[in-house]
C-alpha cells in the first residue's frame, strides 16, 4: 500500500480527513460520478463533490441525520449531500426539484438539489461549496 493511501486511511481513522481531494487521489464514491455529471456538475467539480458525498453520507443515498438546535428546532439533513430541510426546502420547491424533504433520498433529486445550491452559492456568495463548509 502506498504511503499516500496509508496516510489517508490513518487520517480518516483518527478523524483528520482532508477538506479537499487531491486531483490524483482515487474517488471515494465513484458510483455517483456519472449521475452528478448528468445533472450538471463537471468532471473537475466532481472531485470536491465526491469528497462531500463521502463526508456527509459515506456514499449512502438514504442517509438521514437529525439536528437538534439550541433554540429547540429539530431539522434533518437528507441523502447523499445531506441537504438540510429547514434551510432549503422552500428554495428547492420553488425550483420544482422536490415537493417534500423525503424526495431528497432519491440520488437524482439530491444531486439536482446540490447543483442548485452549488449554483446559488456561487452566484450569491462567490463560493459554490459554501453550503458544505465546516465551521
Indicate whether 49 belongs to any domain: yes
> What confidence score (pLDDT) does residue 133 get?
85
More confident position, 16 or 45? 45
Provide φ and ψ at 78, rounded to 5°: -120, 135
More confident position, 2 or 99? 99
State how many domains the chain has.
1
How many CA atoms, within 13 angstroms, populate the side-chain half-sphere of residue 131?
26
Average pLDDT over residues 9-37: 69
> What confidence score (pLDDT) does residue 20 get?
47
Q: Cell for 5?
A: 493511501
Q: What is the CATH number of the domain that holds 78?
A: 1.10.530.10
Query: Shortest CA distance to 67 belongs to which of 28, 101, 93, 92?
Result: 101
Residues spanned by the domain of 99: 25-132
Indicate whether 19 belongs to any domain: no
Indicate whether 2 belongs to any domain: no
pLDDT in tens, 84-127: 999 999 999 999 999 999 999 999 999 999 999 999 999 999 99
> What confidence score (pLDDT) does residue 135 get?
53
Q: Is 72 exposed, middle or buried (0-12, 13-18, 19+ CB in 10 A)?
A: exposed
Give how far the C-alpha of residue 79 lies from the chain's centroid of Cα atoms, to the nearest Å.
Answer: 8
**pTM, two decimal places:** 0.80
Amino acid at each position: 500500500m502506498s504511503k499516500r493511501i496509508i496516510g489517508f486511511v490513518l487520517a480518516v481513522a483518527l478523524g483528520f480527513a482532508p477538506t479537499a481531494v487531491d486531483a490524483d487521489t482515487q474517488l471515494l464514491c465513484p458510483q455517483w460520478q456519472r449521475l452528478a455529471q448528468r445533472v450538471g456538475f463537471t468532471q473537475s467539480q466532481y472531485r470536491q463533490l465526491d469528497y462531500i458525498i463521502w463526508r456527509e453520507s459515506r456514499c449512502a443515498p438514504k442517509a438521514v441525520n437529525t439536528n437538534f438546535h439550541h433554540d429547540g428546532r429539530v431539522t434533518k439533513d437528507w441523502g447523499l449531500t445531506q441537504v438540510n430541510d429547514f434551510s432549503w426546502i422552500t428554495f428547492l420547491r420553488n425550483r420544482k426539484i422536490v415537493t417534500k424533504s423525503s424526495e431528497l433520498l432519491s440520488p437524482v433529486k439530491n444531486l439536482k438539489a446540490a447543483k442548485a445550491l452549488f449554483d446559488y452559492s456561487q452566484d450569491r456568495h462567490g463560493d459554490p461549496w459554501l453550503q458544505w463548509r465546516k465551521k
